Amino acid sequence: MHTDRQAIVAAQHSPYRADIDGMRGIAVAIVVLFHAFPTLIPGGFIGVDIFFVISGYLISTILITEFETRTFSYGHFYARRARRIFPALILVMGATLAFGWVALFPDEFKMLGKHIVGGSTFLSNVFLWFEVGYFDTAAETKPLLHLWSLGIEEQFYIFWPILLALAFRFRANLFWLTMTLLALSFLVNVGGIRHFPSATFYSIASRAWELLIGAMLACLSLQEVSVFFGGMRRPAADGSGMQTQPLFDSNSPGGRNALSFAGLALIVLACVLVRGGKGFPGWWALLPTLGAGCLIAAGPQAWVNRVILSNRVLVWVGLISYPLYLWHWPLLSYAQIVESGVPAREIRMAAVAGAIVLAWLTYKLVEQPIRRRGARHPAVAIVLAILVVVVGAAGAWVYKNDGMPARAGIVENANFQKALILVEDVANAAACKKRYGFDTIYEYCLMAHVDDAPTIAMVGDSHAYHVVAGLMKYYTGQGENLVYFGTRIPYIGVQPGLNDPYQEATAQMLELVLSTRSIKTVIISTILKHNDESPEGRLLIEQFRTTLQQLRDAGKEVIYLYDVPTLNFDPRSCIKRAGIPSSTTNRDCAMDVADFNKAVQGHNKIVASVLQAFPSVLTFEPARYLCDEQHCLAKRDNKLLYRDTNHLSYDGDLYVGAKFAEEQQARALQRR
């Protein structure tokens, strides 16, 4: 993705290859099309993996050539990297930050500031890795998400020159060094993809093998190797001994053509067969990476490389591939943010067209002039590095100041925007965890009065958490002490899945609730929707019944909270973005109640049938107060009740809690 063509041309062993630019053109095209029209090329994201192989090959060719000729300099190497990488990166990050100032809500702008820091330090992959979680925002709403791949490459450019320098210093076998590192990285990849999918996707340790495939090809093209490594030892024609002859040289056009067709076929298969999800990279990443490797190894004279990859259009796209990659995602992401959902096809087409124009202008007016003049003026690289630091500092400032909520046009809807932010009582959670000896991230609790014995326990997932403030307010006023235990499925007997520490913690918390005598009332709430159409679904129904039975046998009063309606729109669409016209701003901030009733009809029927055997179990339905006869509302009394499609805001929490209090007080009066 990020090459230095001038250095490649200058390298004696590596003349410029138009077919590699054509490969880059294909790679960026399928990535852009996948992001704009995901169903068109389902596996289009594998274009990034093609870039990795190309980058590994080109950068290793430069490095090995310079080490062999003893012309390598860390200063010159990183100056070339700066002149190649920084200009377009600075421009795109600066433009993204500027538009965010106008268009983004404080929480969104704060996140963008964080990602600006990640992009400027080439740690985007690490930042995104640690963001992955239940409350992580959608990938489509992160305008700089795509910089994770740049982070992988730049981290490779840090350690790879050092390892090569050591290899040359101690006369190590470069091919074996490369193959060993490649194998280790690939083992980390396939070993971690099942249990640690996010880390495996974003970590340099599990991605380096893709760049090392390119490095291996560079070793093969620049150094003599045996038949096991791509060449064949044969008697020299002049009788002077044995010599190495490449398996696919200019005298073997059939072999080169076969290799190039195989490479193209592997890439096409990857585009068709590979799907996003927890299985990638894993073994699936072999398709695009080996495909790219075959095309590089086939050489520029192979038919596919000469006729298809060296086509002028593909080469032109390849020349602008780096700025095109940088520009396309912020445009598509901002379209998604402004439209509060998937933009219309015409908008996505316009975003792609705009990205192509911006990429060409960036290439002609920014990249080329700086690269040409920068070689004569070493200070250019220093200035570019300073500008990267300045942009990163601006992002840090935005993050530190919580997304600059006092910006003109943004402050007008401050109350609505605050509703979008998850409210957490960190100090209370820490004190509660300390009381119960919870020492892992999988155990979570809140408590009204940490030093006193609990009398009310609320058990459930985030769909219990988003009403805990309102319920805690009510019960505290009644002289009770509510403790909330954050879990997964709050049922007794649910077996933890493989490496599922959350459900293991859930079992411990439920046992704690059963054994604590001071707890008289237990409230259960979960996002889980019951169905009896599968063995797993029927088992969960039985576990729900078992939980109610054991709680009743333990003398606990039980209250079952039905879930809130899940919106079919983003509540952000209820808020007008200053100066940004949007075709999907939801002025009514409501959905048809019929859609909600249809979605929960089966679940509610199952719950009702289970509760028939437990007439003492009380229930509470938030939908009675969030919906009227026609609509379910996300906004009431000029307050936003939701922070996303299925979680209440803090205002919504208090509103539902107040209605819960009214029902409880009415029940108390009836008992009298």
Distance CA 22, CA 150 (A): 20
Arithmetic mean of pLDDT, 84-110: 94
H/E stretch holding 233 reads strand 231-235
Distance CA 497, CA 11 (A): 54
pLDDT at 67 over 60: yes
At 659 the pLDDT is 95
Dig out the tokens for 481 from the structure.
């002490």
H/E stretch holding 654 reads helix 650-671
Distance CA 458, CA 665 (A): 19
At 508 the pLDDT is 86
DSSP class of residue 136 equals: P
pLDDT at 398 over 80: yes
Arithmetic mean of pLDDT, 126-141: 78
Arithmetic mean of pLDDT, 158-166: 95
Arithmetic mean of pLDDT, 52-67: 95
At 417 the pLDDT is 74
At 499 the pLDDT is 56
DSSP class of residue 276 equals: S
Distance CA 108, CA 278 (A): 26
pLDDT at 404 over 60: yes
**One-letter amino acid for residue 292 of the chain:** A
Mean residue pLDDT across the chain: 88
H/E stretch holding 242 reads strand 242-246
Q: Which residues contact 267 (CB under 8 A, 6 or more apart)?
A: 26, 46, 50, 287, 288, 291, 292, 295
At 222 the pLDDT is 79
pLDDT at 591 over 90: yes
Q: Among 51-55, 106-110, 118-122, 233-237, which is the least confidently predicted range?
A: 233-237
Q: What does pTM read for this prediction?
A: 0.84
pLDDT tens digits along 559-586? 999 999 999 988 888 888 876 766 556 6
pLDDT tens digits along 178-222? 999 999 999 999 999 988 889 999 999 999 999 999 999 998 887
At 271 the pLDDT is 95
Q: Among 43-57, 285-299, 417-431, 572-586, which is the least confidently predicted range?
A: 572-586
H/E stretch holding 635 reads strand 635-636
Q: How confident is the model at residue 226 (pLDDT cuts 50, 70, 90)?
A: very low
pLDDT at 137 over 70: no
Q: Which residues contact 270 (CB under 8 A, 6 or more apart)?
A: 43, 46, 284, 287, 288, 291
Contact 541, 612 (CB under 8 A): no
Dihedral sign computed on CA atoms, order 576, 582, 586, 588: positive
Q: Which residues contact 644 (CB under 8 A, 6 or more apart)?
A: 420, 570, 571
Q: Taking Cα atoms as reference points, which of 219, 217, 190, 223 lies closest to residue 206?
A: 190
* Conformation bin of residue 403: beta by default, left when phi > 0, alpha when psi is -120 to 50: left
Dig out the tokens for 505 from the structure.
């913690």
Q: Which domains does the chain have, with CATH numbers?
A: 5-226+248-403 (no CATH), 423-671 (3.40.50.1110)
Distances (CA, A) of 307 to 27, 28, 183, 304, 445: 17, 19, 34, 5, 64
pLDDT at 615 over 80: yes
Percent of the chain surpassing pLDDT 90: 65
At 36 the pLDDT is 96
At 7 the pLDDT is 44
Phi then psi for residue 373, to 5 deg, are: -80, -30
Instruction: Establish whether the linkage from the previous residue to 15 is cis, with ω within 30° of 0.
Output: no
pLDDT tens digits along 5-19? 444 434 444 578 999
At 584 the pLDDT is 59
The DSSP result for 415-445, as a single string, is HHHHHTSPP--HHHHHHHHHHHT--STT-EE
Q: How confident is the model at residue 412 (pLDDT cuts 50, 70, 90)?
A: low
